[in-house]
Amino acid sequence: MQRDEIEIAGLAVEYFAAGSGRPLLFLHDELGLWPEASFLNSLCRRRRVVALSLPGFGQSDLPLWMDCVDDLSYVALGLLDRLGLSAVDVIGCSLGGWVAAELTSKAPERVKRLVLAAPYGVKLGAPDRLEFPDLFAMSKAELAERSFHNVSSAEINGAELSDADLTKLVRNRESFALFAWEPYLHNPKLSRRLDRANAPTLFIRGASDGIVSAEYVAGYAALFSDAAVTEVPAAGHFVHLEQPEAFITQSLGFLDLT
Amino acid sequence: MKFWYFSETAYPYLPPEDTYPSIRVTLPNLNYDPQAGASLYDRYLDEWLIAESEGLNLMLNEHHQTATCVDPAAPVMMGALARLTKRARLLILGNPISNRRDPVRVAEEMALIDVLSHGRLEVGFVRGVPYELAAANSNPVRSNERHWEALELIIKTWTHHAGPFVHEGRFFHHRNINIWPRPYQQPHPPVWVSATSPSGSARVGASGFVQATFLTGYHGTPGVFESYRRGWRSAGRAGDPPLDRLAYAPLVYTSDSARSARLGAEKLLWYLKANKVPEYYRNPPGYLPVEMGVRIMRGAAPQLATSMKNFGVDDAIKSGIMFAGTPDEVHDQVVKFYDHVGGFGHMLMMGQAGFLDHEETTHGIREFAREVIPRLSETLRDRAPQRSAA
């Protein structure tokens, strides 16, 4: 993918673009944007894909004033403005799914069709129960178990990564903590705003996702006027990473329906 | 050299360590017997008063959701000491202001204690150890930024007397700041900041506040103090900071008998041994700078190294985190450390931990006060620190 940098709201934002065809905005998960990922390459073969590193991730700035996912959705909209993309299909994974939900509640006219893969973002239940297990209060082993169907996918050997990549990983993790911490992985207002969302929406969830439950996804989907839910077997929280082919089939299959 | 006594007022009556994953944050408080706890507070407060009667100044700190330090509200404990004591200086080290939601309230608490004690309070501010973040639900990212905005607001709150003022900052908002009482000491109580890394201490040096560092030993302390000195000079001051800008906190146990000194020192090590904390509480993302996070992933040991947990008395003394033995031995250990780090003006001695009982604790306090301090004060008077080769 071709890398570029653009200034939005006073901060430097890195983004990648490749492919041709109908435009598609990809909003990455909390691990960050790794442009060589196979699912991205597959997407680029059939669509014009635009993918930014959200502020705080990759090489994108994170100014002190920015502290919530709502802020991130403005930057994504700003990128669409600057690239002259009036309406796009959107795929958001996990944290990126939360950004996508904020975006679509704010500017539904910019979203043609929407895929949300294991998104965070809304509070559905009672005050005495978290929607997701506390990712910042579990061992690396448990986190890996909950995140991946095949736990060996989770292993990162520090020694094998370059300084640049390791720095990116650590910084991405820090930025995720900033946005996730409180209220925990949700915006209390978002569930009240999704009545504005009107794009046909598909929720994708991995059958082995130990972070975002099937019940949560069903509750989230119920907040949308036009949403369906599909489950991908043998995949955990990062369906696009563990089952890229099934992910592409499901998401492009849905997005290409118009 | 000024000497301060403290303990973390721990509750040591716990189930076996292998029955729980963490002593911090999650150990259920069903394990705390309030009646035993009340007796412990009576005893710990008595020990502070004994330290005062021996001529020591007093210090206390604050931690949350832990048996290692059952003082989740330093101002409350210090309120008690302010009234129970008569002459000792009283140091809170410190208020974890990056985890407190309302700095104006902190300013009020400190002003109140300062007046209650007739001007004996010294106010420390700490960023807090990483496990405090979970207990406070406090975001690990930007804790430094919150810390400094809060600190500056607190000092302004103490020193503004003309009626309400406004603060609409990055992290805190207040339209009507006008605290009653205002501090007893003018312009405000002495301010201390604790840091265990060079990156933190440079800014403290620039500010001129007293810099305290805890258990950083021979290895870590010189870097912290040196960074403070650089920060001090960077603010345009000529020469080195006076020694009263630098403070060191070790574990200390002294006894006339070598054997009981050793036994006491071993009991003090409960403080290190008991600190069972899982990695996710010890190193939440954003607590350390990114470069440090990268080094850790490559295998470097994090700041508060788990290796200290397994220290014996000899390791602890050798590393400079503990001074223990007979009065002569303790004296010599302190002087050696003093020379190595280029001198410091305050010793904050942790003199009780775990199962060190009342008699043992007070014996240690008295031996240090009566047999070490006079000789140490003499040795260190006008002593240019004889720095060993770096």
For every residue of A89-151, DSSP letters joined together read EEEEETHHHHHHHHHHHH-GGGEEEEEEES--B---S-TTS-SS--GGGS-HHHHHHHH-SSG
Interface of A with B in 159-198 (CB under 8 A): 159, 163, 166-167, 169-171, 173-178, 181-182
pLDDT of amino acid B388: 46
Nearest Cβ partner of B285 from A163, A166, A173?
Answer: A173
Using pLDDT thresholds of 50, 70 and 90, give the confidence band for residue B270.
very high
Q: Do B297 and A181 touch (CB under 8 A)?
A: no
Q: Do A181 and B145 touch (CB under 8 A)?
A: no
pLDDT 10s per residue in chain A (258 long)?
A: 999 999 999 999 999 999 999 999 999 999 999 999 999 999 999 999 999 999 999 999 999 999 999 999 999 999 999 999 999 999 999 999 999 999 999 999 999 999 999 999 999 999 999 999 999 999 999 999 999 999 987 766 666 889 999 999 999 999 999 999 999 999 999 999 999 999 999 999 999 999 999 999 999 999 999 999 999 999 999 999 999 999 999 999 999 997
Using pLDDT thresholds of 50, 70 and 90, give the confidence band for residue B67.
very high
- In the A/B pair of chains, how many CB contacts fall below 8 A? 66
Using pLDDT thresholds of 50, 70 and 90, give the confidence band for residue B308.
confident
In angstroms, rounded to a whole number, what is the distance separating the alpha carbons of residues A151 and A142? 10
Q: How many domains does chain A have?
A: 1
How far is C-alpha A127 from the geometric centre of its chain's CA atoms?
A: 25
Q: For residue B341, with 0-12 CB atoms within 10 Å meaning exposed, 13-18 middle and 19 or more buried, which class applies?
A: buried
In angstroms, rounded to a whole number, what is the distance separating the alpha carbons of residues B133 and B138? 5
pLDDT of amino acid B387: 57
Percent of residues, chain B, with pLDDT higher than 70: 97
Q: Do B290 and A171 touch (CB under 8 A)?
A: yes
pLDDT of amino acid B197: 78
Residue with tokens 């001090």: B232
Pairing of strands B346-352, B90-95: unpaired
Q: Given a cut of 90, is residue B196 above it in pLDDT?
A: no
Nearest Cβ partner of A163 from B25, B293, B294?
Answer: B294
Q: Are B164 and B178 in contact (CB under 8 A)?
A: yes
* Cis peptide, bond prior to residue B354, ω within 30 of zero: no
Q: Considering chain B, what is the average pLDDT of its residues?
A: 95
Q: Are A115 and A226 in contact (CB under 8 A)?
A: no
pLDDT of amino acid B390: 40
pLDDT of amino acid B384: 79
Q: For residue B337, with 0-12 CB atoms within 10 Å meaning exposed, 13-18 middle and 19 or more buried, which class applies?
A: buried
For the ranges A3-7, A139-143, B305-309, B325-329, the lowest mean pLDDT is seen at B305-309
Q: Do B141 and A177 touch (CB under 8 A)?
A: yes
The three-state DSSP-derived secondary structure of A135-165 is HHHCCHHHHHHHHCCCHHHHCCCHHHCCHHH
| Full residue range of the structural domain in which residue A231 is found | 2-255
Q: Are B246 and B225 in contact (CB under 8 A)?
A: yes
Residue A214: which CATH number? Answer: 3.40.50.1820
pLDDT digits (tens, 9 = 90+) for B87-112: 999 999 999 999 999 999 999 999 99
Which chain A residues are Cβ-neighbours of B284 within 8 angstroms? 136, 177
Question: Against a cut of 0.80, is the pTM above it?
Answer: yes
Checking ipTM against 0.90, whether it exceeds it is: yes
pLDDT of amino acid A207: 98
pLDDT of amino acid B98: 96
Mutation for B interface: A62, A178, A181, most B CBs within 10 A: A181
Element (H, E) at A13: strand A11-18
Using pLDDT thresholds of 50, 70 and 90, give the confidence band for residue B389.
very low
pLDDT of amino acid A158: 65
Q: Do B142 and A178 touch (CB under 8 A)?
A: yes
Angle between helices B103-116 and B74-84 (to 10 degrees): 10
- For chain A, say whether B299 makes contact (Cβ under 8 Å): yes
pLDDT of amino acid B383: 87
Nearest Cβ partner of B297 from A158, A178, A181?
Answer: A158
Using pLDDT thresholds of 50, 70 and 90, give the confidence band for residue B304.
low
Q: Do B285 and A159 touch (CB under 8 A)?
A: no
Interface of B with A in 260-279 (CB under 8 A): 278-279
- Bigger pLDDT: B385 or B309? B309
- For chain A, say whether B355 makes contact (Cβ under 8 Å): no
Q: Do B279 and A64 touch (CB under 8 A)?
A: no
Q: Given a cut of 80, is residue B303 above it in pLDDT?
A: no
